A = this chain, B = another copy of it.
Amino acid sequence: MPRQVDREARREEILAAAVRVFARCGYAGSRIEDIAREAGIAKGSVYLYFGSREELLRAAFEGLAARSEALLAEVGRRPGGAAARLELLVRSVMELLARERDLARVLLDVWSAGVRAPEWIDMAAFYRDYRAAVTALLTAGGERGAEPAVTPEAHAAVLVGAIEGCVLQALFDPTVDLAALVEPLVTLLVPSEEGGHTS
């Protein structure tokens, strides 16, 4: 069914155009016409693929969320020690956000929308899943006696938060090199394998 493929491809084209425009102008500053022009189609045609402007933002987020979930799943599937897998997760996520600067920029507006319209973009669930995955890996890594005050859940929140916060700073300041923050993040927040007994 080539029809279907075409339709889907066109949808993706438009979404990609929307992400570029959102990144450039912000969601509030992006007019449907700008997106249509960026996609090389007519204004009205956008509505053949997306029901509203808001849906474009949601789709953008869902694309990012899907990729994140894929990463999480991928890490879940991987063999190896929990610490190594957690490290991989951190590296993957950072790499994804560093590579997709536009998507990261759009994230700012998505966050805002998510706070204001939880039933529309469920950021709470997204980050809950994210933390849950990290928590699982932290727990699997074995309890390190050193820090009894830090529950795995809290540790996960800090790690996830640090990732998002580093991306945030890199968005504001081109001086901040996101790639250079990966090692520090791992070093500081990913517990090193202990004894290697997980292998």
Q: List the interface of chain A (C-beta within 8 A of B).
A: 25-29, 105, 108-109, 111-116, 118, 123-124, 127-128, 131, 147, 149-151, 154-155, 157-169, 171-173, 175-176, 180-181, 183-185, 187-189
Copies of this chain held together in the complex: 4
10 A-B pairs, CB-CB below 8 angstroms? A108-B108, A114-B172, A128-B173, A150-B187, A154-B184, A157-B176, A158-B184, A161-B161, A161-B168, A165-B165
A168 touches B176 (CB 8 A): no
Q: Which residues of B contact A175 (CB under 8 A)?
A: 124, 128
B25 touches A124 (CB 8 A): no
Cross-interface CB contact of A183 among B29, B108, B150, B167, cutoff 8 Å = B150
Q: Residue on B with the closest CB to A115?
A: B171
Q: Which residues of B contact A128 (CB under 8 A)?
A: 173, 175
Complex CA gap A152/B87 in Å reads: 21
Complex CA gap A112/B168 in Å reads: 10
Complex CA gap A127/B176 in Å reads: 10
Q: Which residues of B contact A149 (CB under 8 A)?
A: 183-184, 187
Complex CA gap A163/B162 in Å reads: 7
B26 touches A173 (CB 8 A): no
Closest Cβ of chain B: how far from A128's Cβ, in Å? 6
Cross-interface CB contact of A115 among B105, B113, B118, B185, cutoff 8 Å = B105
